[in-house]
Amino acid sequence: MGRERDLYAPVKRLLEAQGYVVKGEVGAADVVGVKAGLDPVIVELKRAVTLGLIHQACARLQVTDHVYIAVTRPTGPRAKRALKDNLALCRRLGLGFITVRERDGAVEVLCDPGPYAPRQNKRAKAKLLRAFARLRGDPNDGGATRHGLVTGYRQDALACAAYLAEAGAEKGALVARATGVPEATRIMRDNHYGWFEKVETGIYALSAEGRKGLADWGGAPAD
């Protein structure tokens, strides 16, 4: 199914099976289906989802509420993720989404056109607000720093590293009190960045990699 026109016959069969009279290339629309007493159905065809295809489909919403995009069903390791993202986009825009399998022309309607009724993910919202509260200041300034994004976790690790750079090896509980980082012991124990060394049970020191991290990231950010 190397050409857009190869999508036409499977889509036409789908609409005709539902009682529509179907014609291709009507005005600016790729496919138009008409059925007595109903608004027309428009389908825009492309081999793959593109921004241009989305623009075309949105423009057709000025003519009818029943607008679909139809593309060759994607394959490959990234196809499932891309398909899910594009399906979510179509739902948000009120567009229908059709895929056509290349080997046999099998058609699958992933969603029909209709108004989008979003449901908030309360867990994701709470996670976002926790991350916001944990982040000191505005270290990313709308983008990543030279070494990457500064997260609240990294800021806490930097605070622990900066304290150890001054105080030397110390108990996790004392580091937590001195830095105001309640999870200091766990951060040093997990050692995701390789910045800490365990001296003995509950006592940690700054590693050579930790000193490099302080230099790279500019030390612990101010509150």
Give the C-alpha distances (Å, rounded to integers) separating 34 from 21, 25, 100, 102, 111: 5, 14, 21, 26, 20
Return the percentage of the chain with pLDDT > 70, whole number. Answer: 93
Could you tell me the pLDDT band of residue 222, with boundaries at 50, 70 and 90? very low
Looking at residue 142, its pLDDT comes to 59
How many CB atoms neighbour CB 67 within 10 A?
A: 25
Per-domain boundaries in the chain: 5-111, 141-216
- Tens-place pLDDT, residues 155-171: 999 999 999 999 999 99
Q: In the predicted model, is pLDDT for residue 143 greater than 90?
A: no
Percent of the chain surpassing pLDDT 90: 64
Q: Using 50, 70 and 90 to split pLDDT, how confident is the model at 144? A: low
Topology given in CATH for the domain delimited by 5-111: Rossmann fold (3.40.50)
Q: Which two three-digit tokens encode residue 156?
A: 């806490």
**Does the pLDDT value for residue 60 go beyond 60?**
yes
Using left for φ > 0, alpha for ψ between -120 and 50, and beta otherwise, residue 107 falls in beta
**Calpha distance 57→68 (Å, rounded):** 7
Residue 219 has pLDDT above 60, yes or no: no
Residues contacting 61, CB < 8 A, separation 6+? 67, 94, 95
For the segment(s) 141-216, the CATH number from 2.40.50.140, 1.10.10.10, 1.10.3720.10, 1.10.260.40 is: 1.10.10.10
Using the predicted structure, report yes or no on whether residue 130 has a pLDDT greater than 90. no
Give pLDDT, residue 220.
Answer: 41
pLDDT of residue 155: 92
C-alpha to C-alpha distance for 61 and 71, rounded to whole angstroms: 18
Residue 185 pLDDT exceeds 90: yes
Dihedral angle over CA of 15, 83, 30, 39, nearest 10: 50
Residue burial 164-199, b: 16+ Cβ < 10 Å; e: rest: beeeeebbbeebbebbebeebbebbeebebebbbee
- Quick one: average pLDDT of 194-221? 86
Q: What is the pLDDT of residue 221?
A: 44
Give how far Cα 189 sits from Cα of 5, 6, 135, 167, Å. 60, 59, 21, 18
Q: Could you tell me if 53 and 69 are in contact, meaning their C-beta atoms sit under 8 angstroms apart?
A: yes
Neighbouring residues of 124: CB distance < 8 A, sequence distance ≥ 6 = none
Per the listing, tokens 């007493």 go with: 37
